[in-house]
Structure 1
Amino acid sequence: MVKKRVPDWLNSPMWSSPTSPPPKSRSQSPPPPSSSNGDRIGSYLPKSSSIASYDYSLNEPHVTLPPPASIRPVPTPRTEIRDSSTRSSSSDNDITSSIDDVSRQAELLQELSRKIVNIGELRRLASLGIPDAAGIRSSVWKLLLAYLPSDKGIWLSELTKKRSQYKHFKEDLLMNPAFKAACVCTNSWILNVSVASQSEITRKLEDSAYPKNGDQISEGKGLLARSKIPHGEHPLSLGKTSIWNRFFQDSEIIEQIDRDVKRTHPDMHFFSGNSASAKANQESLKNILIIYAKLNPGIRYVQGMNEILAPLFYVLKNDPNEDYAVNAEADTFFCFVELLSGFQDNFCQQLDNSIVGIRSTISKLSQLLKKHDEELWRHLEVTTKVNPQFYAFRWITLLLTQEFNFADSLHIWDALLSDPEGPQGTLLRVCCAMLILVRRRLLAGDFTANLKLLQSYPSTNVSHLLYVANKLSSHSTH
């Protein structure tokens, strides 16, 4: 398959690096993920399959990208759900799309200008898609995720409080235990020193620990004698409350996060490359994921969370409001926590077989397909025996970020985040619509062909996909 280029607006010179390496081809897959606690994808793949060479990587993009002008053509309204294998390219549809985008942009801006934002109306408008050029997706998503309250009068105080809280998280959870232990010993002179001065602090600690010219360490200065080091702060302590013990336990997860972050969207200069901005963005992703893992010991980090975090951080970091862009890391963390709160059971391996776990969610998708297209359901699951876990596990846990190009996934997320009952209902309808849109090919295929098709979903008209998903919602109410 020939890979189309990334849309130009996603690789703006604003964050690109002139010396960045070319995008990796699909044949240059990253090394297989380690079999750590975070790797769960493999357990849901077929035990034996003739597709021996198929790439199951979470991180390699495998769907081609459309040119920017055809990202969101508006389909002609239909009353019948049919298989769609071609994309409309008529100039009439492009013109209609532009007009609709301008109109929706004006409506969204008007709603955002109100003192009290009508969240219900905002959801309705956002579910139709947020124009890329508007520069307002960041604010809309924060409102939809309830990070920003509807009362604009308290936005500043709420943001100040949350950003301060995140700063404390970074100080408490990302600090090296050696430095933290040293702080305990020298708090008389370290209290007023900022985190940014850690290198200077370390130098002073070393100077005080190893006096020059035979000077003796004066009482009350430098490091404590070994006999005076609290047991919980000793590097060999095995206590559960020991900061060193926690540090060594966390190291494996941190290494996994580092590997996954470096593989996140390698075809986008925003996330990948040698530029200072790309490296800073990677560092922000790592900080957020490490802090989330430490604050959520029941889930910690699961491979693929980086793919869910990436769209959030991209949107918030590119907010035209400079203050919002500067504080994107803190804002993204809380939005990420809120988004995962509705999906975290899918990441908890202990709940896989429960009524709230991933298998139950996949079962709901199977039931939804059976309700709307029993013929297709029977062919997939009975005739060709394609277990939905083989493809839907990734669709659901990664919120479709790996099935579509980045630009289209943002528009799908507009609809997911607009659902007043939470994203999962809309997500399942979109997944069901994906099956219906390729039903002719699925009905004609065997196990091998269908599995390959669904694990590498073809390029499609996302506007029409969302239209079909919405029709499924309408049919469900009758």
Structure 2
Amino acid sequence: MSSRGLPGFLRRSRRWNDFEDEDDDAADNDADNDNKGDEKEELDQDANQRQCQELSGSNEPSHLLNASLQFLQPSAPTGPSTGDVASSNNNSISSSSKDHPNEDHTPADDITDKQTDDQSLSTIGDYDPTAGENLSYRSMTAPPSTSVGRSSSKVGYRELQFEKLLSNNVVKLSELRKIGWNGIPCQYRGMVWKILLGYLPANASRRQQTLERKRAEYKEAIRQHYDIDDDSRTLQEQETLRQVLVDVPRTAPDVPLFRNEKIKRSLARLLYIWAMRHPASSYVQGINDLATPLFAVFLADDYEGEDVQDGSVMVVLSEERLDEVEADVYWCLTNILAGIQDHYTADQPGVQRMVMRLQELVNRIDGGLCDHINSVGIQFMQFAFKWMNCLLLREFNLQCVIRLWDTYISEENGNGFEDFHIYVCAAFLCQFSSQLQEMQFDELFQFMQAVPTEDWGETEIEMLLSQAYVLSTLFGGSDAHLTSHGRQPLGPHM
């Protein structure tokens, strides 16, 4: 594998020439290189660990740093045997996942994951020797076209994992998060989301009772807050309803499902009721977008996970069933917003905090890009505000967002929509680093208002998640990305 497949901070700590241009004399040198290679590998691993500890601001060895190093290890010049792959892959991280061990893992899965690793490594940027000591990602001029989808046997195995776990009387949430982080099969997604978002209990015997109680509570909220005369509303409540009714027709305009009048009615109703029941936050434009993945996933429950975005499902969907979906969306949206509540209070301090953290992180990992954005007079707040406010829903198609949310919802401690989202945004921005550094104000500003992701699919999203995870292992839980390490201070606007 070429050294161009890894970020600069790892490439500088390896002797990459030993991995390149070996084909001509490989046969003569194999025996001599075996022992030397073992010694060099130990030295290189030590150097890598010291380098990553320095970058992350950690003075102690970290299993997360070791895990990220193994994820970024280059492939051997020649293909390993099946046994080698199965044994070595126990210590590596899948290209689109965290290190989630599973008791039912098989050698066949290891082979599939190893192939996925080798493909994804080629997308993690090129080394720029002028980038100093900053981590350097070079732009991905076009989304990768190769597929890293699982084979049919792999998909079948994953479906069995979910089937087995969800059939238990009490679901182990930690195990559900582990397998859910890598993506959730369509037919199980609705149930998994409802459980991991805390809407449904892990105990199967209590789920039906919980559904009936929560749906009845929502129905009462409709009667109390929505099905009333306008004369009974305060001026502030009337203004909130007016804003909701303005935003609903603008929601996901490219998705036929959300042009359906019944869906518009349900969306407007649940948004208004949420605002009435959360007066400290109230309704903010952008919350309407956050309901769209929930609608799409929960409507698909009755159709074995089939795509319902074309709106055809509304022809046969009963009013009673739509009311149930509306209630489910309301409660799950409420639980998501509870974790990022200060994003939608006055002045939206949570969103501003996330934009600041994003700029500080990009300043650390790709200083050249951060300097260029500042030098042309563009503020991070001008393009990243909507990334935080709408959680990238306006940057990707709905299917990509649903895959992204599989991981966000499966993040431990429920931090996917805030902490991990920042790393996703940083990896996303750095994908286009080289292109952006060639642009001046007008072109760069227009580019950031409509980042070209129309051809992206789950393959690109999984690679983006891989890169974000590597960043989170290096900088998560520390203040390393908040330190300039000798670089120029951030612009005054932050």
TM-score band by shorter chain is 0.5 to 0.7
Question: 1:346 and 1:391 mapped to 2: Cα distance?
Answer: 16
Residues 468/97 of structure 1: CA separation in 2 closer, same or farther (3 Å cut): farther
- Using the alignment, how far apart are the partners of 1:95 and 1:284 within structure 2? 35
Paired residue for 1:259? 246
Q: Would the alpha carbon gap of residues 117 and 472 (structure 1) be closer, same or farther in structure 2, given more than 3 Å must change?
A: same
**Which residue of structure 2 lines up, in the alignment, with residue 151 of structure 1?**
203
Offset of 1:162 from its aligned partner?
0.9
Structure 1 residues 97 and 443 mapped into 2: Cα distance closer, same or farther (>3 Å)?
farther
Which of the residues 268, 272, 282 maps onto 1:286? 268
1:452 to 436, 446, 464: 446
The equivalent position to 1:328 in structure 2, one of 325, 328, 333, is 325
The answer for the alignment partner of 1:85 in structure 2 is 141
How many angstroms apart in 1 are the aligned matches of 2:297 and 2:196? 14
Give the structure 1 partner of residue 287 of structure 2. 305
Q: Decide whether the 8 Å contact of 1:319 with 1:325 is kept in 2.
A: no
Take 2:214 and 2:330, find their aligned partners in 1: how far apart are those partners?
Answer: 10
Q: C-alpha deviations, 1:76-117, integer Å up to 9, x for none?
A: 132883132233334xx3664655444323322222112111
Aligned pairs (5 A) from 1:389-408: 389-408=381-400
Q: Secondary structure at the match of 2:120?
A: coil
Distance (Å, rounded) in 2 between the aligned partners of 1:314 and 1:466: 22
Preserved CA contact (<8 Å) 1:369 1:432? yes
- Return the letter of the residue paired with 1:335: C
Identity over aligned pairs, percent: 28
In 2, distance between residues paired with 1:387 and 1:102?
A: 47
Residue equivalent to 1:250: 237
Counterpart of 2:9 in structure 1 is: none
Q: Cα distance, 1:247 vs. partner?
A: 4.3
Q: Residues 401 and 98 from structure 1, CA distance in 2 versus in 1: closer, same or farther, beyond 3 angstroms? A: farther
Aligned to 1:163: 215
Residues in 2 aligned to 1:442 and 1:98: alpha-carbon distance in whole angstroms: 39
- 1:37-436 residue pairs with structure 2 within 5 A? 76-78=119-121, 81-82=124-125, 83-90=139-146, 93=147, 96=150, 99-131=153-185, 134-177=186-229, 244=232, 246-272=233-259, 278-320=260-302, 327-350=324-347, 352=349, 357-381=350-374, 383-421=375-413, 422=415, 423-436=417-430
Question: 1:471 maps to what in 2?
Answer: 470
Given the alignment of the two structures, is residue 437 of structure 1 paired with residue 419 of structure 2, yes or no? no
Distance 1:109 1:85, change over 3 A: farther
Q: Under a length normalisation based on structure 1, what TM-score does the superposition of the two structures give?
A: 0.64
Pair 465,312 (structure 1): closer, same or farther in 2 beyond 3 Å? same
Whether the aligned pair in 2 keeps the contact of 1:271 and 1:282 (CA below 8 Å) is yes
Structure 1 CA distance for aligned equivalents of residues 156 and 220 of structure 2 = 41
Deviation of the 1:384 alpha carbon: 2.4
Q: 1:140 Cα deviation (Å)?
A: 1.0
Distance 2:228 2:150 in 1: 55
Letter in 1 for 2:442: T
- Secondary structure at the counterpart of residue 437 of structure 2: helix
**1:331 deviation in Å?**
1.1
RMSD: 2.5
CA contact (8 A) 2:251 2:289 kept: yes
Instruction: Write the deviation string for residues 350-383 of structure 1: whole angstroms up to 9, x where unpaired.
Output: 453xxxx3222211111121222223222223x2
Amino acid corresponding to residue 357 of structure 2 in structure 1:
K
After superposition, what is the alpha-carbon deviation per residue over 1:56-77, rounded to whole angstroms, capped at 9, x for unaligned?
Answer: xxxxxxxxxxxxxxxxx96713
Q: 1:468 Cα shift?
A: 0.9
Q: Residues 269 and 111 from structure 1, CA distance in 2 versus in 1: closer, same or farther, beyond 3 angstroms?
A: same
The Cα of 1:142 is off from its aligned counterpart by 0.7
2:3 corresponding residue in structure 1: none
Q: What is the alpha-carbon distance in structure 2 between the residues aligned to residue 475 and residue 249 of structure 1?
A: 46
Structure 2 Cα separation of the partners of residues 400 and 95 of structure 1? 23
Indicate the residue corresponding to 1:35 in structure 2. Answer: none
Match of 2:302, SS? coil
1-side partners of 2:144 and 2:354: how far apart?
33
Shift of 1:412: 1.0
Q: 1:280 to 1:351 in 2, by over 3 A?
A: closer
Unaligned runs of 5+ in 2: 1-114, 126-138, 304-316, 479-494
The question of whether the paired residues in 1 share the 8 Å contact of 2:282 and 2:344 is answered with: no
Closer, same or farther: CA 306–74 of 1 in aligned 2, 3 Å: farther
Amino acid at match of 2:336: L
C-alpha contact 2:123 2:144 (8 A) present in aligned 1 = no
Deviation, 1:439, is 1.0
3-state SS of the aligned residue for 1:403?
Answer: coil
Q: Give the distance between the partners of 1:360 and 1:95, measured in 2 at CA.
A: 36
The superposition leaves residues 10-47 of structure 1 with CA deviations (integer Å, 9 ceiling, x where unpaired) of xxxxxxxxxxxxxxxxxxxxxxxxxxxxxxxxxxxxxx
Secondary structure at 1:320's aligned position in 2? helix
User: Matched residues in 1 for 2:321 and 2:475: separation?
Assistant: 40
